[in-house]
Structures are given as structure tokens and as C-alpha cells.
Amino acid sequence: MTTPFERLADVDQTIHAPARLAILTALSVCEQADFTYLKRITGLTQGNLGSHLGKLEEAALVEIEKSFAGRTSRTSVRLLPAGRDAITGWWAAMEEARAATAAWSPDDDG
């Protein structure tokens, strides 16, 4: 029998990292955001945000578009369908783990 604690250890670390969780959760609400907005609402530094976005893009969870408005560069980030599925699944897994942990008893650990 698997305990709720063992299931928590198997959570997808790509999403579970706090910064990436914050980014994906924010994007799940607003669909698309620019880099400056994400930086502001997550509290991440420019370098940290860029690094985490790169990992999320590499995992095909987000799409990053770079453009220019005059001479000003603009970076826009969009949640891909796989990213939406991943963050929705992560939150569902956390809720299941919370419920299973609340119902767990030390006697259940045969």
C-alpha cells in the first residue's frame, strides 16, 4: 500500500518548484502575461524568472515570444495546453494528497 507521503515524493518537480508553480498558477488565470508583469507578481528577479521560464519552455509547458515595440523589447509568455493540463493535474494531486493525509492513520502503515 502506498502512503500519501510516498505519493507526495513522486510529484512532478518541474511544476513543484515554488517559482515555477507560481508562474504556472499565474498563467493559468491570465492565459498570457508579459515578462515584467510576471516578475512583479511572482517577486522573482529578472535572472530567476528567465531561468525558470526557460525550464518551463523546455518542458513544452509555456511558449515565449519576443518582440519589439519601437526600441523596447517585449517578452510575452503563454500557457500551452500541456501546461494547463500539468498545473490543473498538480493542484488536483495536491488536493488528493491533502485529503488522503487527513484520513491517514499510523495504523494504515502495515
Q: What is the pLDDT of residue 86?
A: 94
* Residue 101: predicted pLDDT: 87
Residues 11-46 have pLDDT tens digits of: 778 888 999 999 999 999 997 999 999 999 999 999
Predicted TM-score (pTM) of the model is: 0.85
Q: How far apart are alpha carbons 108 and 55 in whole angstroms?
A: 38
pLDDT confidence band for 4 (50 / 70 / 90): confident
Encode pLDDT of 47-78 as tens digits. 999 999 999 999 999 999 999 888 888 999 99
pLDDT of residue 109: 59
Sheet holding 32-34, edge to edge: 32-34, 72-79, 62-69
Residue 75, exposed/middle/buried by CB under 10 A (0-12, 13-18, 19+)? middle
